[in-house]
Amino acid sequence: MLQHAASGLRARFTFDSVGGFGWVFSKSYVIRSIDPGDSAGAVTWREEYAGRGIGRRLYLLAATLHPSTRWRLQGGLTEFAAPLRARLHGADPYRWEAPCDWCNERAIAWRGAAPHDFGAHPITPAPPAITPTLVKVS
Ligand SMILES: [Zn+2]
């Protein structure tokens, strides 16, 4: 489990026993906080942090820690996870599963696909982090 210290956003990364696949559970409000100062595991209002790149940083950190894992989808995508998964897939389609028109048009079954199946896939590099937005408090 990884947790962003400032926002409390967190995600749990689970690995399949076979196949080299992993999957992400990122409903912060269900996962108990690992912050020792947050014994109640306070609910995080994820809308407040949507689009700020925090989730992507958590996902990319997990991917860095587990470089041979391919990250499959597990269940449906929330309105917050869908754009993130699309960006991750667009940057590295072999590594990250996501709904994708390009893959669908070519009938690529992501889990059984090899790296060369994505050789002509359009790549949109995702920045590793988003420049922080300063919030002015009066
Ligand atoms: Zn694709």
Report domain extents, the chain: 2-118
Question: From ligand 1's centre to the CA of 128, what distance in Å?
Answer: 20
Question: From ligand 1's centre to the CA of 42, what distance in Å?
Answer: 36
- Is pTM beyond 0.95? Reply is no
Phi/psi of residue 113, nearest 5 degrees? -80, 155
Cβ pair 55, 9 in contact under 8 A: yes
Tokens of 39: 């014994």
Average pLDDT over residues 110-123: 96
Tokens of 16: 């399949």
Question: From ligand 1's centre to the CA of 124, what distance in Å?
Answer: 11
CA angle 16, 62, 90 (to 5 degrees): 90
How far apart are alpha carbons 32 and 20 in whole angstroms?
26
Question: From ligand 1's centre to the CA of 67, what distance in Å?
Answer: 20
Q: In this predicted model, what pLDDT tens digit does every residue of 49-80 receive, in sequence order?
A: 777 788 888 999 999 999 999 999 988 888 87
Q: In this predicted model, what pLDDT tens digit does every residue of 11-32 receive, in sequence order?
A: 899 999 888 999 998 877 778 8
